[in-house]
A and B are shown apart, each in its own frame.
Chain A
């Protein structure tokens, strides 16, 4: 299935709820949808379009909102993107339709603070045990501290 077919089929099925669809390159498809139908679109791509291999779930801090991207498919990479508000970052978990999402969603949850509803085990997996609660390192407001450079003689 080529890039154009994927876009046509998703547009046909979901109509206006698909906000944006384009091909950023060869064998790449990018689809932006409303958060309510995000899981439904992923399920449709996985079951009906046959791209049942989930290669990753990523999160991006876009300022006022957070973006979640599910990346599916062996040959054609189908990126399903959705924007959720930063003050209420909740989205449906994909784990019940695609178990591979488990670790990826845990990672996005810890690094960006996105809450995946109905995730089976949202415990800490990636960040160290002593990492403070509520600090999300991949958000733009988090600025890492740089250790002071060592000087000869140990002064400052």
Chain B
């Protein structure tokens, strides 16, 4: 007897509602289909209709959590098109805010991930510490969420000695907390049971399916745009690319924890070695870009982000293409959710596997379970799906 379980399309925190149609036999998932048609906002078309400085505000709103990566990618793209480069101080400031937003995104993900697995204590801990990072973002940029920090030709404001000292205090605090959490996760058997061996993705499959970001690095592939294609002074700032060869959800958690440490070190280094000088080039409010094309890549918290623009010499881009990391990772979700051979995927593993790519799909609003044998339909709630996941946790 096989069931079809649609998951989605509504969930509150991710900007891309997604529908997964799972075909299950008993508790085993045998097939999956993806539908992302619910909130196509036509931003690529809208960017063609706006001037370059206006486009920045739209590009920043492509994603709420990765807004810093999007605005940085947009600015790099337009700067490349104009043949300009941000001053060295701006590059370092961009790195500080980019890494702060990476820390905040990873903490948000870690908290939410453990929440869906039923570990509320870790959820509370991670989100409490994330507030410290949000406060720092607000101090530095003026905004908690949509930072509006990057502008074409530099950044919007400079850093003050007061912010500098507060940032250093935050880094020290967070480093201690993260060490504690890391040890807690490593030594918690019920958590390990929920993560280890779940959502296996071999390195060759990960590359074949075009996976990016922490998800790819958890499969043991050492790819990070900051390393392979440095874009904002990353040649000078030392950092390690964290990889794990466990290829499962455990690896995905540990990669992100490792990256939080690396990001904190990068912020500390950037603060110590902050170059002096201008933090912003003077740019006219309206300008025309020369005919040409430019492709910029940024390592967003969820993976490689690509912006590609073509200019026909006007004030608006002729074509603006955005490839977000979640789209790249979706193909691998479909592969990971299918049971094959010894590899078995249960319905209770869906939040763990989906959550692993950081799409925040775990907040599924409701689930319709269709019983093909009995031709009945029943609607379950998110709570019920989470209870499924938690009971499995308790059993182990």
Q: Using a CB–CB distance below 8 Å, which chain A residues touch chain B?
A: 24-25, 27-28, 30, 52-56, 58, 60-61, 69, 71, 74-75, 77, 79, 98-100, 102-104, 107, 111, 124-129, 137-138, 142, 144
Contacts and interface: CB of A to CB of B under 8 A. Distances in A.
Interface in B288-305: 292-295, 297, 304
A79 B308 CA distance: 11
B328 A55 contact: yes
Contact of A25 (B44, B294, B323): B294
Contacts of B212: 55
A13 B330 CA distance: 34
A78 to B, nearest CB: 11
Contact of A125 (B36, B49, B328): B36
B327 interface: yes
Interface of B: 34-38, 40, 42, 44-46, 49, 80, 207-210, 212, 223, 228-229, 292-295, 297, 304, 306, 308, 310, 318-319, 321, 323, 327-328, 330-331
Contacts of A61: 319
A98 B306 contact: no
Q: Identify whether the interface residues of B are mostly helix, strand, loop, or mixed.
A: mixed
Contacts of A79: 295
A77 B330 CA distance: 21
Contacts of A103: 34, 327, 330-331
Given A53-B207, A75-B229, A100-B210, A126 B319 contact: no
A125 B210 CA distance: 18
A79 B310 CA distance: 13
A100 B323 contact: no
Contacts of B38: 128
A77 B45 contact: no
A138 B44 contact: yes
B228 A74 contact: yes
B37 A127 contact: yes
Nearest to B334: A102
Contact of B210 (A30, A55, A60, A144): A55
A60 B36 CA distance: 21
B329 to A, nearest CB: 10
A52 B306 CA distance: 17
Contacts of A125: 34-37
Contacts of A55: 210, 212, 304, 306, 323, 328
A43 to B, nearest CB: 13
15 contacts: A24-B294, A25-B295, A52-B208, A53-B223, A55-B323, A77-B297, A99-B331, A100-B209, A100-B331, A102-B331, A103-B327, A103-B331, A104-B327, A126-B40, A129-B37
A137 B46 CA distance: 10
Contact of B36 (A111, A126, A129, A142): A126
A61 B45 CA distance: 12
A99 B37 contact: no
Contacts of A71: 295, 306, 308, 323
B37 A77 contact: no
A135 to B, nearest CB: 12
Given A74-B223, A124-B37, A128-B37, A100 B328 contact: yes
